[in-house]
Structure 1
Amino acid sequence: MFRKTAAMLLAACAMPALAQTPAPASTPPKLIVAIAVDQFSADLFAEYRQYYSGGLKRLAQQGAVFPKGFQSHAATETCPGHSTILTGGRPSRTGIIANTWFDLKAGRDDKAVYCAEDETQPGSSSGDYVASPAHLKVPTLGGRMKAANPATRVVSVAGKDRAAIMMGGPTADQVWWVGGAQGFVSYKGVAIPPLVARINDAFTQRLATPNPGFELPPQCAARDFAVNIGDGKTVGTGRFARAAGDFKAFRASPEQDAMTLVLAAAAIESMSLGKQAQTDIISIGLSATDHIGHTYGTEGTESCIQIDRLDRELGAFFDRLDADGIDYAVVLTADHGGHDLPERHQENAMPMASRVDEALTPKALSAAVGAKTGLAGRKLIWGDGPAGDLYIDIGLTAPQRAAVEAETLKILRGHPQVQAAYTKAEIAATPAPTGAPESWSLLQEARASFDPQRSGDILLLLKPRVTPIVDPTKGYVATHGSPWDYDRRVPILFWRKGMRPFEQPLGVETVDIMPTLAALIHLPLPAGEIDGRCLDIIAGDGDSCAGK
């Protein structure tokens, strides 16, 4: 659908097409293309792999395939996941422990802190904020490349601000994300250049045009049945039909990813990325799979159509780069996996799948703990939902805090849906995990997400197959964020023209991506500054890590 739009926009800035020949493995590529597909779990990658015919087929058949990649930490959310991909650091190092954490000492009524905001700005809140990379504690690959060679161009484009910011880093030349119905925006005060203005014109024109929906690919037919989620609402049979101007539906559809790739391709051509002496880098955050997973679940026609369209759009994008003769290397991964809605799991052989008990929400916990400790009427427990970090009111006396913590742990550890409840002290005392990520304990996963200044007083981890959404009729129907493998496992795919393909089924981490790419471009990394390791992506003889 968007190939005509892309062709029209790119024609204005297209470079002459050049024949592309494979570069020697020892020669650094001229452009790194780092793609994060939001909520593209290892399960989704494997489920549709036999049907790929476009860009995903190229990566899966012609590249180095690590089907068991891990976002190895416990807090499998968008911001932490994106922060690992191009920094080589786990959230315990990047400082990005969640999408939102709480600072109870903050001098504003809203104590929640959004991962990509600058809360020091007057009037800022976690819901109405000034976007900023201020919370990211470590440099990205692009930042390191630019420090080594200031001529390096670093561009980041995404559907979400937190994806673009966490992958681009604070020193990126261009950072763009979908800011709403107006199209792509950047940091406060950044002027919209002519190229982005043209893309935004196409964006708004497309949004103003109704979408009758996409055809159902043959591989999706078996998934075409309705699942009742309550109040007469169903999911599972959608085709992404959309009324004119419906941005919410546009965002949760393949249309958003297509526009993101149009901007990415146009930026590459207009800036001549990969056409100069140095290596450049562009990171691309494709967010539609996540919006679709939350809105419809991961196993209906909606998700199936999305993966088919993603494959096609990536194919068109890579074809465009090929036509320009750019020597580029690709890595594609995800920020986290995802868990389908329990109502469909229950219909498909998993009757034990369930929704979380409302008693585990911070509001209900506060009330229950208050009744037991004689502190009723106070907001004792702060949190972003019925899982993850919980924060205890700092206005309590030491004995009161001890009583609240003890009673909270008693309630949590006695609840049938709770797998574990760890205190801050327990997590802090745990050494940073090492070894194969598939063998880590829950406490080690928690440690990989832990920051002593930002993490909560208690970490609540639900049992597997418990969805931390109480009522699917009032918002999201499915989600992620757990320490379980359906949320931790993601594919990691490397590709460069002419490389010998191979597949390594053993577990690796997304923090291994940055040192692998750094070695590919001969960029040295100071010892002790990252958590990942270089992956040798040369099959057989030779070692792509040898020159790191």
Structure 2
Amino acid sequence: MKLKTLLFIAASALTCTMAKAGQQVARPKLVVGLVIDQMRWDYLYRYMPHYGEGGFKRLLKQGYSCENTRIPYVPSVTAIGHSCIYTGSVPSIHGIAGNNFVKNGQKVYCTDDATVRPVGTTSKAGYMSPRNLWVTTIGDELRMATNDQAKVVGVALKDRSSILPAGHNPNGAYWFDDATGGFITSTYYTSKLPAWVKTFNAQKLADKYLSAPWNTLLDKKAYTQSTADRTNYEDGIQPGVEATLPLNLPALRKQYGYGILRHTPFGNTITLDMAKAAIEGEALGTDSVTDLLAVSCSSTDYIGHQVGTNAVEIEDTYLRLDRDIAAFLDYLDQKVGRGEYLIFLSADHGASNNALYLTDRRIPAGSWDSDGAKRYLNEAVNAAVHTNGNVVSHVMNNQVFFDRKAIAAQGLDFDRIKAAAVQRLEQDSAVLYAVDMAKTATSALPDEVKFRIINGYNRERSGDVQIVLKPGFSAHGLKGTDHGAWNPYDTHIPLVFMGWGVTPGASTRQCYMTDIAPTIAALLHIQAPSGCVGQPIF
């Protein structure tokens, strides 16, 4: 009995000693991830003459910029990008194979979950959770490393941009609801909105931001970009709506509802307002245990898709975002303390130049018709193997998906079907390469393309044939912009760390989006996420 008692006391003493030692690990009070949706790396510098001193310029001067950060997979889209940043993993491992992908033979949205219910709304926007994500996030690891004492919160306009970064076991994830103009969540996280979220929504900030026109910050002659570029090539904020500034937001609010806020710079503003409310409401960064706040500014993506990369509207959006970031950093200085927080800024993907914009400059470019490709692929496959109906089910994410149940039921040769599809795609003048996903490793592809296809291929959820379009070509059409390819315009992203533990500087050494999570893990002295394939940046 005495021996057992002594062992218990010794074990208790050791536990207490370890706990004290754990408390002495040097860590910041708060980690903030700031992801700017569709921000190309060159946007850091393209608009610099008009940036203030407290936003992007402060991050570059006081932080460490990884100037050659690339995305190591395709397709380069929002859901995968946000998952990759916070898991250090790739679609082949983490399971998020696109914004939409095929699961059990059915096309699904990345965060759809019929087993949960909306909280804060009655709209379908609340049927969401992270259950399709197969691995842990840096927030999950932080929670486990601190016995769930650390608090983790995700905030974004887009559901996927809040849910996937926040991970499986956060204190909350909140996204914007077009029906109510407020932020909502689902029963995966809680049965009712926290009081602080209700208070935030009661301010009706969406009404405030949509109550006045969207005017220009500068005289149009002072903008870096050309108004002519926008006029010639771009759609407008919504189909049939001209986006030439100033834009009549009250009228658009009446016509389209709260969803129009996403297509204005003020969608970024309300997101950072919500981020501040989360810091206050959850008391983030107020004690000795490190907390994590994952924030994504989504309006840059909505606007970019509508007006392209060469428009006054996109430049004006980044100038306003620069001001919002400056105000947010000032808030963090006051609330958490300068030097007490660690922030990183990055993007989920970049964006291509508009095809007509390029061809007007004698640069090869064009639009690729994915619906037309589906039709001609079914014709080619039917001619090759004589199927009973169409076995090409989807062409999305620049991938060809086949109806495997129909193929198996008819006893068809799947390899012959894929070979017929590849052969037909290679006859398309917009296609650079077409490759059977199962044979990518042995295909005659450049390494820069090959390893991205392999990393992006998820056996259960990806297509069976990868399509690589020629540079400058996309399936978006001839209006606005798109993304998703391997090319630098889609995969070269900003990455800047600033604050606690960071020495100012810059490097052009190549690193990858997958290196962000292990860098944070190394700084915090915690385990990297369960699917992490990246390396710390030091």
TM-score normalised to the size of structure 2? Answer: 0.84
Preserved contact between residue 390 and residue 460 of structure 1 (Cα < 8 Å): no
Given candidates 222, 226, 230, the residue that maps to 1:223 is 226
Closer, same or farther: CA 228–276 of 1 in aligned 2, 3 Å = closer
For the residues of structure 2 that align with 1:498 and 1:511, how far apart are their CA atoms?
Answer: 20
Q: CA deviation at 1:346?
A: 2.8
Aligned to 1:117: 112
Aligned to 1:479: 482
Preserved contact between residue 353 and residue 472 of structure 2 (Cα < 8 Å): no
Tell me the amino acid that sits aligned with residue 461 of structure 1.
V
Aligned to 1:289: 300
Q: CA deviation at 1:41?
A: 1.2
Tell me the amino acid that sits aligned with residue 290 of structure 1.
D
Q: CA deviation at 1:101?
A: 1.1
Tell me the amino acid that sits aligned with residue 417 of structure 2.
V
Q: CA deviation at 1:371?
A: 5.0
Bigger CA drift: 210-219 or 287-296? Answer: 210-219
For the residues of structure 1 that align with 2:260 and 2:522, how far apart are their CA atoms?
Answer: 41
Preserved contact between residue 227 and residue 234 of structure 1 (Cα < 8 Å): no
Aligned to 1:20: none
Preserved contact between residue 228 and residue 235 of structure 1 (Cα < 8 Å): no
Tell me the amino acid that sits aligned with residue 111 of structure 2.
A
Tell me the amino acid that sits aligned with residue 47 of structure 1.
R
Preserved contact between residue 235 and residue 296 of structure 1 (Cα < 8 Å): no
Aligned to 1:539: none
Closer, same or farther: CA 157–94 of 1 in aligned 2, 3 Å = same
Preserved contact between residue 516 and residue 535 of structure 1 (Cα < 8 Å): yes
Aligned to 1:4: none
Aligned to 2:534: 532
Closer, same or farther: CA 79–358 of 1 in aligned 2, 3 Å = closer
Q: Confirm or deny that 1:444 pairs with 2:455.
A: no
Closer, same or farther: CA 209–233 of 1 in aligned 2, 3 Å = closer
Closer, same or farther: CA 506–314 of 1 in aligned 2, 3 Å = same
Preserved contact between residue 56 and residue 311 of structure 1 (Cα < 8 Å): yes
Aligned to 1:267: 278
Q: CA deviation at 1:169?
A: 0.2
Aligned to 1:252: 263
Matches within 5 A, 1:465-476: 465-470=472-477, 472=479
Aligned to 1:44: 43
Tell me the amino acid that sits aligned with residue 30 of structure 2.
L
Aligned to 2:84: 84
State the secondary structure of the residue aligned to 1:265: helix
For the residues of structure 1 that align with 2:145 and 2:342, how far apart are their CA atoms?
Answer: 19
Preserved contact between residue 351 and residue 483 of structure 2 (Cα < 8 Å): yes
State the secondary structure of the residue aligned to 1:249: helix
Aligned to 1:160: 158
Q: CA deviation at 1:373?
A: 4.3
Bigger CA drift: 278-287 or 450-459? Answer: 450-459
For the residues of structure 1 that align with 2:171 and 2:266, how far apart are their CA atoms?
Answer: 26
Preserved contact between residue 307 and residue 313 of structure 2 (Cα < 8 Å): yes
Identity %: 27
Tell me the amino acid that sits aligned with residue 89 of structure 1.
S
Q: CA deviation at 1:398?
A: 4.0
For the residues of structure 2 that align with 1:151 and 1:504, how far apart are their CA atoms?
Answer: 35
Aligned to 2:5: none
Aligned to 2:429: 416
State the secondary structure of the residue aligned to 1:511: helix
Closer, same or farther: CA 270–120 of 1 in aligned 2, 3 Å = closer
Aligned to 2:21: none
Aligned to 1:337: 350
Aligned to 2:325: 314
Bigger CA drift: 34-43 or 210-219? Answer: 210-219
Closer, same or farther: CA 417–461 of 1 in aligned 2, 3 Å = same
Given candidates 440, 460, 469, the residue that maps to 1:462 is 469
For the residues of structure 2 that align with 1:354 and 1:456, how far apart are their CA atoms?
Answer: 23
Closer, same or farther: CA 400–440 of 1 in aligned 2, 3 Å = closer
Higher helix share: 2
Q: CA deviation at 1:78?
A: 0.5
Tell me the amino acid that sits aligned with residue 515 of structure 2.
D
For the residues of structure 2 that align with 1:230 and 1:58, how far apart are their CA atoms?
Answer: 34
Closer, same or farther: CA 510–157 of 1 in aligned 2, 3 Å = same
For the residues of structure 1 that align with 2:456 and 2:94, how far apart are their CA atoms?
Answer: 9
Closer, same or farther: CA 335–239 of 1 in aligned 2, 3 Å = farther
For the residues of structure 2 that align with 1:229 and 1:159, how far apart are their CA atoms?
Answer: 23
Q: CA deviation at 1:302?
A: 1.2
Deviations 1:35-65 (A, max 9, x none): 1111011132232234321321111111000
Aligned to 2:135: 138
Q: CA deviation at 1:420?
A: 1.4
State the secondary structure of the residue aligned to 1:324: helix
For the residues of structure 2 that align with 1:531 and 1:521, how far apart are their CA atoms?
Answer: 18
Preserved contact between residue 293 and residue 478 of structure 1 (Cα < 8 Å): yes
State the secondary structure of the residue aligned to 2:60: helix
State the secondary structure of the residue aligned to 1:399: coil
Given candidates 336, 355, 372, the residue that maps to 2:367 is 355
Q: CA deviation at 1:165?
A: 1.1
Between the two proteins, the alignment pairs up a number of residues equal to: 488
Preserved contact between residue 67 and residue 491 of structure 1 (Cα < 8 Å): yes
State the secondary structure of the residue aligned to 1:454: coil
Aligned to 2:144: 147
Q: CA deviation at 1:409?
A: 1.2
For the residues of structure 1 that align with 2:435 and 2:392, how far apart are their CA atoms?
Answer: 15
Closer, same or farther: CA 147–325 of 1 in aligned 2, 3 Å = closer
Aligned to 1:3: none
Q: CA deviation at 1:240?
A: 4.2
Preserved contact between residue 113 and residue 119 of structure 1 (Cα < 8 Å): no
For the residues of structure 2 that align with 1:70 and 1:88, how far apart are their CA atoms?
Answer: 13
RMSD of the TM alignment (CA)?
Answer: 2.8
For the residues of structure 2 that align with 1:128 and 1:273, how far apart are their CA atoms?
Answer: 27
Bigger CA drift: 141-150 or 455-464? Answer: 455-464
Closer, same or farther: CA 96–428 of 1 in aligned 2, 3 Å = farther
Q: Confirm or deny that 1:75 pairs with 2:80.
A: no
Q: Confirm or deny that 1:366 pairs with 2:368.
A: no
Preserved contact between residue 102 and residue 108 of structure 2 (Cα < 8 Å): yes
For the residues of structure 2 that align with 1:429 and 1:455, how far apart are their CA atoms?
Answer: 19
For the residues of structure 2 that align with 1:121 and 1:27, how far apart are their CA atoms?
Answer: 39
For the residues of structure 1 that align with 2:390 and 2:276, how far apart are their CA atoms?
Answer: 49
State the secondary structure of the residue aligned to 2:295: strand
Preserved contact between residue 391 and residue 406 of structure 2 (Cα < 8 Å): no
Bigger CA drift: 311-320 or 322-331? Answer: 322-331
Preserved contact between residue 358 and residue 364 of structure 1 (Cα < 8 Å): no
Closer, same or farther: CA 504–224 of 1 in aligned 2, 3 Å = same
Tell me the amino acid that sits aligned with residue 184 of structure 2.
V
For the residues of structure 2 that align with 1:272 and 1:408, how far apart are their CA atoms?
Answer: 55
For the residues of structure 2 that align with 1:510 and 1:209, how far apart are their CA atoms?
Answer: 35
For the residues of structure 2 that align with 1:99 and 1:363, how far apart are their CA atoms?
Answer: 23
Tell me the amino acid that sits aligned with residue 128 of structure 2.
A
Closer, same or farther: CA 277–497 of 1 in aligned 2, 3 Å = closer
For the residues of structure 1 that align with 2:485 and 2:284, how far apart are their CA atoms?
Answer: 38
Deviations 1:432-452 (A, max 9, x none): x9xxxxx94311110111112
Q: CA deviation at 1:265?
A: 0.6
Preserved contact between residue 394 and residue 402 of structure 2 (Cα < 8 Å): yes
Preserved contact between residue 361 and residue 385 of structure 1 (Cα < 8 Å): no
Could you tell me which runs of 5 or more consecutive residues in structure 2 were left unpaired when the two chains were aligned: 1-24, 118-123
Aligned to 1:237: 244
Q: Confirm or deny that 1:502 pairs with 2:513.
A: no
Preserved contact between residue 41 and residue 489 of structure 1 (Cα < 8 Å): yes
Tell me the amino acid that sits aligned with residue 88 of structure 2.
G
For the residues of structure 1 that align with 2:323 and 2:32, how far apart are their CA atoms?
Answer: 17
Tell me the amino acid that sits aligned with residue 199 of structure 2.
R
Given candidates 388, 410, 427, the residue that maps to 2:440 is 427
Larger radius of gyration: 2
Aligned to 1:542: none
State the secondary structure of the residue aligned to 1:316: helix
TM-score normalised to the size of structure 1? Answer: 0.82
